[in-house]
Structure 1
Amino acid sequence: MRILPLFLVIFFLSQLTLAQSAFQKAFDSNVNSSKENVRINFSDTAGNSGYLPITIIKGKTKGPVFTIVAGVHGYEYPPIIATQNLIKEIKTDSLNGTLIIIPIANTASFFTRTPFINPQDKKNLNNAFPGKKNGTITEQIAHFITTNIISKSDVFLDIHGGDACEDLIPFVCYYNNPKKATQTALAKKLSENSGFEYVVSYPYNISNKEPAKYTFKQAVQDGKTALSIECGKLGNVQSENVALIEKAVYNMLGTMNMYANSTGSHKNIIHCNNQIYIKSNVKGIFYSQYKAGNKVKKDAIIGYTTNEFGVILEEYKATTDGFVLYMLATPPINIDDTVMCISAYTKN
């Protein structure tokens, strides 16, 4: 076990204290109708450094605290661009309550164009919660969001999209947590009012003592109303998906009586509550004729993997009827990769 010199421990703790103070000062400001940008700096014992950009928008009156996080995976561009637009568009005089916006949670991933992980410590921020106060840089960012952002939030929205290799259909999702009936009901309402056609619910199956790992699952574990958007695909900026995200945020703010720019829910909402994940057992080159949104039948061959010489190593079959919520859409495939997520609705 590595023992740190005392002066280094004191230095890192003082850095964290300064970071917390800068955010707290901006959040506690009594200036209404204001917009303030804060950068929270981090550094770890491996010599990594980085920052977390945060915008705090205070409305003309006090009200709920609504947090929006994008860029947990820095290669997911539509959410990042949508939050940039929202920061510019939101009129403080028309806002009730407070918005906390993290436009790029994983800046190292974003600026190095690295899918999924922070290249500095090779950790996935969306697998690091609740984080560690004195951990690696990714763990410190997760800890800061948990202790300083989630703790102050009434609603916590985590926005994702298809990373560099993922094809998906736009959807909004929440955890069906029966132990937090009030928060779950509001998350469901916000999801249904978002304007998305597909509303997905996941079972909540961890105890309060287990690490939540996922960003918005941490907020659920901490007793907050939390939900997530998945919109965009294949590491590109699609203007229609940027617009869908913005529309959803405005609809949610309208539901919370925070901002009057909502356009209403989708006319034909499709609920999904049964997600089946097809995994790879081999490393090779992946092939499939399917795309996100396609219907699949049980036992249908949905794809296969070959080696470098074209020899088929593994075939993948659908284990249920449903449709492709998201899937691997580029040739490289590794052991334990998610080939496809098939979604359906099952009556309870």
Structure 2
Amino acid sequence: MKKDMNRMLVETVVRRTLKNIQNSPERETRNLVDLGLECSKGRFQKNFLRTTQKMLHNQESAYYSLVKNTVDSVDHDILTTFGINLGYNGCTKGARVIREVEAEYGFNVPWSITLVINEEKLDAEPDFYPSVLQQGISLGIHTYLFFILGDPEKILPLIEKQSECAFIIFLRGYQVSSSFVKKMKAVKNAMTLVYVNKDMPDACQKLRDVKLLYGVYKRYAEQDKKRILSGEWLNTVLPAKPAFAVLRADDSCTPETKKDVYDYVVSVRNSQKYPLVLMDLKYDILAIDRIISEEECMAEFNADGNLRTYEGLQREEKFNIFRHSLEDILREIQIAK
């Protein structure tokens, strides 16, 4: 296999920085961002690093605490592998392939794919989900979000096999068992997001105890708006020390509520007062996609194989991943516009 020299160089710099950052998080973080900006070629990289560079001029930024806490508490192999798979493979190398495919074939390709895993399908057709991932990789997609309601250990072999991709696993606290945590220690290209409820603190502590990268997430409804915008919700998750906190709107939420929540998410990030990265699942995925591609594109497949785009659920059979290839579905989305 031909070695990617650019990736090897990036990995060398990241590993060296992780060693030094524990003693001087402010200086080493700024140096890493400055070096990345000098070497970056991709649009996403440049945009992200310029924003980060500007934010890090704030000496009181809570992101310095986030960096130090993460480096101290997370396995460096995970930080390196997941970070490079997401940033380099997903948003630089993969983004270049995405733009080439879009230019040549005339349909939009999302930078990430969300899959709600159907366990019956996973058990009955073990080649199905690996095939979907291979189809995505061939189009330049290296970032995958997995939701699974049953046994999460079933998807770990799938994740480990695609060692060049970055995976984000969304789980409930009760799914974070001692057995799962033990097996996750061997997985270097994934992070876990735990649903915020009474089971969250214990689940996060289990992940932290074995130096795994984790965050938390919440599917919010209309009645949660006030609690989110007041900052009350965010303050309840801080004791769990997540690196990320992700909000996802329920279908019942009004467009005004979704906009207000996203405006709040952006304002929290810009304020740099919290030692975590707050994100909105839908709108931040679209924001990244707009940087990578000319037009925004989003693809999520539910447990029945039906496609959800940023416009909503598409129930027509031609958009079902159980019946059609990923490329055919993306072509159909373009035709339907």
Q: TM-score scaled to structure 2, two decimals?
A: 0.32
The one of the two structures with greater contact order (alpha-carbon pairs below 8 A, sep at least 6) is 2
Higher-Rg structure is 1
Normalized per residue, the structure richer in strand is: 1
